[in-house]
Amino acid sequence: MRTVNEKARREKQIEIMKTCFDCYAEKGFCTVGIKEIAKACGYSAASLYQYFDNLDDLIIKSTEYCMSKVEEEFMAKAPTDVMDLWRFIDEIPYWTAKEHGKKYRLMYQIYTHPKYREFGKKFFKGVDERYTEYAKSLEPKIGIPYEKLTPLIFILIRACVHYALFEDEYYMKSQIDTIKDTLVFYLEKYNPEEKRDNVTE
């Protein structure tokens, strides 16, 4: 059981991580220094080091925490049955670009930086595992094997993130159309009754 001090410390860490990530996302990763982050957090630079080992530690933990929250928000909207698939696929790229675009752009700046690339690899390995588990949970609900669903989820995520980064409608819609066509094919193959009754092409 956490002590009051441990809980309070964690709450302060979360507050700092969120403010740090928002500050970088708004003003740019390469233009913001520790003093500006500290000011945004309402602390001195020295005070930040009571909660994080150094600036790199703050950046790494802020990115992991804030992007895990983005993933949670994304998954909260994820479909749980066939009837909701098309609604989700059509809406999610625009919603997540509006809500998370700056955060996606910052995430890629950080995780493609040579200093932080290994942490990016670790983060995305976790993403792979979580979305595979989601595909497994979806399999009995829509009748498509998770091995077929998982790559479609990855394609959808890539389409959403690319759209959030560049607002490239053509790239996004071409992948969305391919996902829909593939889902129709899989539903016809694995769950034709569900496809006939609930999918509008």
Per-residue pLDDT tens digits for 41-58: 999 988 999 999 999 999
What's the pLDDT band for 33 if we cut at 50, 70, 90?
A: confident
Chain centroid to CA 27: 20
Question: How far is it, in rounded angstroms, from Cα 27 to Cα 32?
Answer: 7
Chain centroid to CA 102: 12
Please give the biggest Cα pair distance in the chain.
63
Q: Are 123 and 169 in contact (CB under 8 A)?
A: no
pLDDT digits (tens, 9 = 90+) for 53-77: 999 999 999 999 999 999 999 999 9
Query: For residue 193, what pLDDT is reported?
Result: 79
pLDDT digits (tens, 9 = 90+) for 101-121: 999 999 999 999 999 999 999
- CB < 8 Å & 24+ apart, contacts of 109-117: 109/29, 109/30, 110/29, 110/59, 110/63, 111/63, 115/56, 116/56, 116/59, 116/60, 116/63
pTM over 0.95: no
pLDDT digits (tens, 9 = 90+) for 122-173: 999 999 999 999 999 999 999 999 999 999 999 999 999 999 999 999 999 9
Name every residue whose Cβ is closer than 8 Å to that of residue 84 and which is 6 or more positions away in sequence: none
Mean pLDDT calculated for residue range 183-196: 84
Question: How far is it, in rounded angstroms, from Cα 171 to Cα 168?
Answer: 6
